[in-house]
Structure 1
Amino acid sequence: MPGPIQSIERAAAIMGVVADAPFGIGVGELAGALDLAKPTAHGLLRTLQGVGYIDQDPHSGKYRIGAAALGLTARPFDANVLRSYAMNWGDTLAARSGESVRIGVLRGDRVAIVHHVFRPDGSTQSLRLGVELPLHATALGKVLLAYTPGLTERATAALPAYTTRTHTAPRPLQAEIARVRAQGFAEDTGEFHAERAALAAPIRDAGGRVIGAIGIVAAIDRLDNHTTHAKLVALVRDTAAAISRDLTTERPR
């Protein structure tokens, strides 16, 4: 069997020491407590801070347990923060794909649209911001089903049909979700709207957790074309990856 991973052991030890210091602890004090080199302790603290498990007091510089560690299952990513990172990328995706772009986050057992960019063709369109859509019949929703632990099991009872193509039985939906995980993107072809198709890919935070999805909505015949389909899949996946990188390395715009 493989042995323990030292960096994880050290991170766990740091969490334990910080948790026992309700008024905070400095990097030097923590390094001494764990017999670590100060640069090593500082690097681990900054990494834990980056994923929300450790917070640093801006005045004293001391470290405390972060919100993510206090509520791992109940702490959703702020949709407004996600939107601030993703807005420019959404505009670019719409321009390059020629299609409408939507960004969605999980809200209960549905996907909520937190950003919507119109198709750049000047046609009459309706703003979908704030609309909640079903998970099982939309590309955005399938991404969240695929990457949110336990969600698929909750979402497979009494699934409503929106078109004749909607997956309403647990087994076909579970097979679809497995395909999403394997290929790294989701699609629906006339499953929510009979004349529309969609593609979506996951957006991840600094720790790798999927916090939302970005995708395009197009006429079905656009995605029936193999060459166009492959191009649009690449655009959507590349955009999702770019937003995920920004969430790790940049501040909100």
Structure 2
Amino acid sequence: MRVVNSLVERCFAVIELLAKEASAMRLGEIAEKLDLQKSAAHRMLNLLSEIGWVEQDPVTGFYKLTLRLAILGQRFLSATHLTDVCLPVLEDLATESAELVRMAVVQGETLTWIAQVQGARNGLKYQPEMVARVPLDTTANGRAYLSTLSQIDAIRIAINDGAGEWPVASVEEFMKELELAQKRGWAISDGEAESGVVAIAAPITLGGSQTVGTVSVAGPSSRLTPDRHEKVASAVLSTAAKLGELWPLRQGYNNTQQSE
């Protein structure tokens, strides 16, 4: 648990906590998770409410974020033109796989969904809940990202991202999963993140070193059967490579827009 001291740090700590939980929380829980006195947490929440970042449910008294953070995030993402550059490549993969394609970006030590394209045209369509944060230990995207890190960092980040400590056996098994993902270049989640859903993901890297994001194909296990895994993984790897080549172009895109 990280101790925060300054007013600015405390305000951002509250925002990050509410964003991570993505649900309304009671005052006592917020104070406990941030290791703050209730009075201090209450002052932070009142301040954030006054400037429009937090709102309090009039019935339960619980606190939650307003849409201000989401709106600013969408504005920033639009300004980077990252999705403009990458979307055609994601659409090609969605057409080829006939399944849902999603892309996430690395933010610090987390992953955030920023784009998706539905490739399924008929039958059952996998349509996940629209949340920003990518769970790292159970999703194919999270495992693909963690597989590019050292084992020590990967386990630390995965445990911090989840809830509580892991049994030794679980850590050892997870390390083997990451080793396999690193060896073949792609990771898989078969029902761990969502029952009945298979996802295959690969990291997006710059120059084969810096990991900037992940891309995945996901769909019902009834369609993404084991005999399709290798073919889908090959397409995901090819797409990840293309995205890695296009990623730096967003800066050039921005410069072009500004000069017009």
- TM-score normalized by the length of structure 1: 0.58
2:126/2:218 contact within 8 Å kept? no
Q: Secondary structure at the match of 1:157?
A: helix
Cα 1:147–1:90 change in 2 (3 A) is same
In 2, the alpha carbon distance for the partners of 1:169 and 1:82 equals 36
Aligned sequence identity (%): 22
Q: Secondary structure at the match of 2:219?
A: strand
What corresponds to 1:27 in structure 2?
none
Aligned residue pairs: how many?
A: 170
What corresponds to 1:100 in structure 2?
100
| 1:59-111 CA distance string (max 9 Å, x none) | xxxxxxxxxxxxxxxxxxx9645433321111111111000010012345542
What corresponds to 1:157 in structure 2?
159
Alignment of 1:235 with 2:222, yes or no, is no
What corresponds to 1:185 in structure 2?
186
Deviation at 1:171, TM superposition (A): 1.0
In 2, the alpha carbon distance for the partners of 1:86 and 1:199 equals 19
Task: Please report the RMSD computed on the Cα atoms of aligned residues, expressed in angstroms.
Answer: 3.1
| 1:120-158 CA distance string (max 9 Å, x none) | 316676575552121010010011111145531323437
What corresponds to 1:244 in structure 2?
244
- Runs (4+) of structure 1 exceeding 6 A deviation are none
In 2, the alpha carbon distance for the partners of 1:206 and 1:84 equals 21
User: Whose radius of gyration is greater, 1 or 2?
Assistant: 1
Unaligned runs of 5+ in 2: 1-75, 255-260
2:136/2:158 contact within 8 Å kept? no
1:185/1:199 contact within 8 Å kept? yes
Give 1 or 2: higher helix fraction: 2
Cα 1:144–1:119 change in 2 (3 A) is same
Q: Secondary structure at the match of 2:189?
A: strand
In 2, the alpha carbon distance for the partners of 1:223 and 1:125 equals 11
Cα 1:199–1:168 change in 2 (3 A) is farther
- Within a 5 Å distance, the mapping from 1:117-136 to structure 2 comes to 117-121=117-121, 126=127, 130-136=131-137
Deviation at 1:208, TM superposition (A): 3.1
What corresponds to 2:71 in structure 1?
none
Q: Secondary structure at the match of 1:136?
A: coil
What corresponds to 1:14 in structure 2?
none
2:89/2:243 contact within 8 Å kept? yes
In 1, the alpha carbon distance for the partners of 2:225 and 2:127 equals 24
1:109/1:135 contact within 8 Å kept? no
In 2, the alpha carbon distance for the partners of 1:152 and 1:142 equals 9
Unaligned runs of 5+ in 1: 1-77, 162-166
